[in-house]
């Protein structure tokens, strides 16, 4: 069951990343590129959980892998607010 859920999450994050990548291509707004990368890192995280079978000792390592995801999202928000105009 968990393997299925992690697989589904991996695919959902990959697909979301593809949409945001397309938005970046269309709008040339790097906000969307950062979101695309964030979701792809998130996909990597779920994939790692699916194939890695974390134990109690090393599960922090697996979950810390989501740090790049949320750092990229934070960067996208900060960057959007630093830049003026449309």
Partner 1 sequence: MIVSVVSLESSFDFAALRTFIASHIEDYEQLETLLFVRRHRQSVSAAVVASELKLEAHEASQALHALAACNLLAVDDSSAGKTFRYAPRGAELSRGAELLALAYGEHRIKLVQLMNSNALDRARMIALRKFAEGFRLGSPKKNG
Partner 2 sequence: MAECVYLMCACTSALCAFLLVRQYLRSRLQLLLWSCLCFLGLALNNALLFIDIIVVPNVDLSLPRTLVALAGMSLMVFGLVWERA
Stretch near partner 1 under the rule CB under 8 A, chosen from 7-15, 47-55, 60-68, 72-80: 72-80
Q: Is 23 in the site for partner 1 (CB under 8 A)?
A: yes
> Which option in partner 2, partner 1, none does residue 85 bind, with CB closer than 5 to 8 A by kind?
partner 1
Q: Is 51 in the site for partner 2 (CB under 8 A)?
A: no
Long-range contacts of 29-38 (CB under 8 A, 24+ apart): 30/76, 30/79, 31/76, 31/79, 31/80, 34/72, 34/73, 34/75, 34/76, 34/79, 35/72, 35/73, 35/76, 37/72, 38/68, 38/69, 38/70, 38/72, 38/73, 38/76
> Which option in partner 1, partner 2, none does residue 2 bind, with CB closer than 5 to 8 A by kind?
partner 2
Query: Residue numbers of the site for partner 2 (CB under 8 A)?
Result: 1-2, 5-6, 8-9, 12-13, 15-16, 19, 59-60, 63-64, 66-67, 69-70, 73-74, 77
């Amino acid at each position: 069951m968990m393997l299925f859920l992690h697989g589904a999450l991996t695919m959902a994050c990959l697909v979301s990343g593809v949409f945001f990548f397309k938005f970046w291509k269309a709008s040339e707004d790097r906000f969307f590129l950062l979101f695309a990368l964030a979701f792809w890192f998130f996909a990597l995280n779920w994939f790692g959980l699916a194939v890695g079978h974390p134990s109690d000792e090393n599960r922090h390592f697996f979950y810390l892998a989501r740090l790049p995801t949320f750092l990229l999202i934070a960067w996208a928000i900060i960057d959007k607010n630093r830049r003026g105009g449309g």
